[in-house]
Structure 1
Amino acid sequence: MKIQKANAGVLTNFEVLDFLRSRGAKIDPMGCLGAVAVSECKVYEYILKTPACNQTRESIYEFVKRSEGFRLAEADKLNVINWRPSSTADAYAMIEECGKRFSRDERGEACDEDERVQEFLDMVKEVLPAPPKAEVETAEAEAEAGVEAMQE
C-alpha cells in the first residue's frame, strides 16, 4: 500500500470498512491471505461490531447535513458517526462542551439544553442506523453484570 496524500483528512469507521471490503478483507484471516494483511482482517472484524457496519454513505451525508444546526466540530461529527450515541450521557461524553453548544439553537437564541440534546439524539436515531444487535446485547449484559456485582 502506498500513501498518496499524508494527513489528507480523517476517515469514519464506515469509510475504513468500505475500503477493507474493497480489498477483500474477511472475518477469517486465513480466508484473506495474500489479499490483505492479517492486521487488516482484525480491524475489519472489529469494525463489523460497531455502528459502521449498518451505515451507508447516504446516511452519513444526511447526518452531516442535518447536524449543521447543532454547531458541532468536525471531531464531534466523527465521534457521533462512529459511535452513534443513544443516550444523553453518551452525547455529553462524545461532544466537547455539549452543554454550552446545545444551550443555543441554530439562530443563536437561548433554549433548554436538555431539550436540545434530546432533539439531537432523535435526529441521530432517525438518520444513522442502529448498531449491530450482538454489540448492544453484549453491552447490556455487561452493564447488568456490573450492577449485580455492586449489589453483592
Structure 2
Amino acid sequence: MKIIETSAGALTNFELLDLLRSRGAGKDASRAIATVSQSEFKVFDYLEGTVACNQTREIIDNFVAECQKFDLTKAEILNIVNIRPRNEPELFPLVEECEQRMEDKTEELVETITRILPPHPSQADEANEEAAEGEEETEPEQAEGEEEQ
C-alpha cells in the first residue's frame, strides 16, 4: 500500500473495504493471484461481515449531510457509520456527553441512523426471516377462508 498523504484523516470501514476491493480482495477463486497481502485478506473477510458491506459512498455522504443538524464531531460520525447503533443505549457510548448535548434529539438521531444506514447483514437476514414467517402465517388462514366459501 502506498501512502499518498499522511494523516489525511480516518477512514470509515466502508472506505477501507472499498480500497481492499479495488486492490483485488474478494471472495472469488482469483483471490490467490490478487496483489493483496494475507493480513489484508483477513481484514477484508472481517469487514465483509460488518455493516460496511451494505454501505455505499452515497449512503455515507447522505448520512453525513443529515448529521449536520446534530452537531456531532467527525469522530462521532465515523463511529456511528462503522457501528450503526439501532437504539439509544447503543448510541450513548458513541457520542460524548450524549444526554447533555443531544437533549431530546437522540430519538431523532437513532431514527436518522436506521432510516439512512443499511442494517448489519445478520439484522437484514433476521428481518427477511420474520417477514417470510409473517407471510407463511397469513397464507394458511386465507386458504382456510377460501375452502369455507
Normalization by structure 1: what TM-score? Answer: 0.76
User: Runs in 1 of length 4+ with deviation above 3 angstroms?
Assistant: 27-30, 134-137
Give the unaligned 5+ runs of structure 1: 104-112, 138-152
- Aligned-residue offset at 1:3: 1.3
Letter in 1 for 2:112: M
* Structure 2 CA distance for partners of 1:19 and 1:44, relative to 1, 3 Å: same
Match of 1:132 among 104, 107, 121: 121
1:27-46 alignment runs, 5 A limit: 27=27, 31-46=31-46
- In the alignment, which residue of structure 1 is the partner of 2:89? 89
- Aligned-residue offset at 1:135: 9.2
**For 1:102-150, what per-residue CA distance to the aligned partner results, in whole angstroms no more than 9, with x for missing partners?**
02xxxxxxxxx3xx2111111111111111117987xxxxxxxxxxxxx
* Structure 2 CA distance for partners of 1:135 and 1:35, relative to 1, 3 Å: farther
Is the counterpart of residue 122 in structure 1 residue 123 in structure 2?
Answer: no
How far apart, in 1, do the equivalents of 2:123 and 2:117 lie? 17
- In the alignment, which residue of structure 2 is the partner of 1:74? 74
Q: The residue matched to 1:67 in structure 2 has which SS?
A: helix
Contact in 1 for aligned 2:24/2:31 (Cα 8 Å): no
- In the alignment, which residue of structure 2 is the partner of 1:15? 15
Higher share in helix:
2
**For 1:2-46, what per-residue CA distance to the aligned partner results, in whole angstroms no more than 9, with x for missing partners?**
211111111000000000001111247983345210000000000
Q: Please say which structure displays the higher CA radius of gyration.
A: 2
CA RMSD, 1 decimal: 2.1
Q: How many residues align?
A: 126
Letter in 1 for 2:55: Q
Give the unaligned 5+ runs of structure 2: 127-149
Q: Greater shift after overlay, 31-40 or 94-103?
A: 31-40
Normalization by structure 2: what TM-score? Answer: 0.77
- In the alignment, which residue of structure 2 is the partner of 1:144? none
* Structure 2 CA distance for partners of 1:97 and 1:76, relative to 1, 3 Å: same
* Structure 2 CA distance for partners of 1:26 and 1:66, relative to 1, 3 Å: same
Identity of aligned residues (%): 42
Q: Greater shift after overlay, 56-65 or 26-35?
A: 26-35
